[in-house]
Amino acid sequence: MEARLNPFTNPVLGKVLKHVTAAGKVLDDSALPASTQELVKLRASQINGCGFCTDMHFKDARHAGESTERLNLVASWREATVFTEAERAALELAEQGTRIADAAGGVPDEVWSNAAEHYDEDQLAALVGVITVINAFNRANVILRIPAGDYRPGQFG
């Protein structure tokens, strides 16, 4: 499979993705646990069918010490016993925020309230940011048909 357009060589898309990447870097310094961020990125990428991001965030999470067991269960987190209540709330918010068009009225209040029981305002803001940024990357990669499988942890610095 070959990408429809190279986002690294196209000057217009390159500028757009540079800004999205910069937004993502802000989240690296947030109080939202890095492991939670990777779980959310992985789940949104699975939902959106973004092979590149699914591969990337699985490998980045493994590289950071996350267990294969937990990563393999992200897609079925509701039935899995390996996630904390806070992680479950983050995954639910990620799913609802990713599938926003599927629900008339957007993210339900009870989903937000559940997340707010586990995260403070800055962590919630970071969680919204992570969901926003990964969905942007997912959409670009899916539209462009960026192939998956060759990602190496840290390859983008």
Contact 130, 40 (CB under 8 A): yes
Contact 78, 61 (CB under 8 A): no
List domains and CATH numbers for the chain.
33-144 (1.20.1290.10)
Tokens of 132: 């926003």
CA distance 22 to 132: 13
Q: Structure pTM?
A: 0.95
CA distance 15 to 75: 32
Residue appearing with tokens 């992200």: 74
Contact 118, 86 (CB under 8 A): yes
Q: How many helices (H) and strands (E) does the chain have?
A: 7, 0
Residuewise pLDDT in 10s, the chain (157 residues)? 789 999 989 999 999 999 999 999 999 999 999 999 999 999 999 999 999 999 999 999 999 999 999 999 999 999 999 999 999 999 999 999 999 988 778 999 999 999 999 999 999 999 999 999 999 999 999 999 999 999 999 888 7
Residue appearing with tokens 């969905």: 135
Tokens of 136: 């942007």
